[in-house]
């Protein structure tokens, strides 16, 4: 089962999605990147757009492909988007999935409960992420 997630960046912050607090789902009550499982017949991009509407109500105009990581159950596809204030204000939590959404700085992200995979990647590449946010480019980011 493959998935697609996105780094949505505004100013020096990244948009995160607080997962539902249901014990039967993976990583309940943890903050994660928006996105999710790609359904049968969907491309990673179409699956991501569907998940964005379900989780954060809006899909940014520009979705840039960053790469993919091979996992036991498929691939994890990662995209990114730098948005301006006009687009940042379009994201909202409509209660379809999850508890809420919010933009966080990398420093703020170290103080909240992240999914284990996000926490690991954040800690391992925080300097690179900080640079990417400042330069508005993920060209140097390694998956």
**Tokens coding 132:** 């990417």
Domain 3-135 has CATH 3.40.50.150: no
State the sign of the Cα–Cα–Cα–Cα dihedral 124, 26, 35, 111: negative
pLDDT tens by residue, 50-73: 999 999 999 999 999 999 999 888
Which CA distances in Å does 137 have to 8, 40, 74, 140? 12, 31, 27, 8
Percent of the chain beyond pLDDT 90?
A: 83
- What is the pTM (predicted TM-score) of this model? 0.94
Whether the pLDDT of residue 139 is over 90: the answer is no
Say what the pLDDT of residue 123 is.
79
| Least confident piece of the model among 13-27, 76-90, 115-129 | 115-129
CA-CA distance, 99 to 95, in Å (whole number)? 7
The pLDDT, as a whole number, for residue 94 is 84
pLDDT band at 143 (very low <50, low <70, confident <90, very high): low
Q: What is the DSSP string of 68-135?
A: EEEETTEEEEEEEEE--HHHHTT----SSSSSEEEEE-HHHHTTS-B-HHHHHHHHHHHHHHHHHHHH
**Dihedral pair phi/psi, residue 59, rounded to 5°:** -110, 125
**For residue 116, what are the contacts with CB-CB under 8 A and spacing of at least 6?**
27
């Amino acid at each position: 089962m493959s998935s697609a997630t996105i780094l949505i960046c505004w100013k020096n912050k990244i948009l995160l999605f607080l997962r539902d607090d249901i014990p039967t789902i993976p990583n309940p009550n943890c903050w994660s990147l928006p996105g999710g499982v790609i359904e049968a017949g969907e491309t990673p991009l179409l699956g991501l757009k569907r998940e964005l509407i379900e989780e954060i109500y809006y899909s940014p105009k520009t979705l840039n492909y960053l790469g993919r990581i091979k996992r036991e159950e498929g691939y994890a596809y990662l995209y990114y988007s730098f948005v301006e204030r006009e687009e940042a204000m379009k994201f909202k939590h409509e209660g379809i999935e999850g508890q809420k959404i919010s933009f966080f700085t990398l420093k703020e992200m170290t103080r909240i409960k992240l999914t284990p995979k996000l926490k690991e990647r954040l800690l391992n590449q925080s300097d690179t992420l900080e640079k990417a946010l400042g330069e508005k480019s993920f060209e140097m980011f390694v998956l």
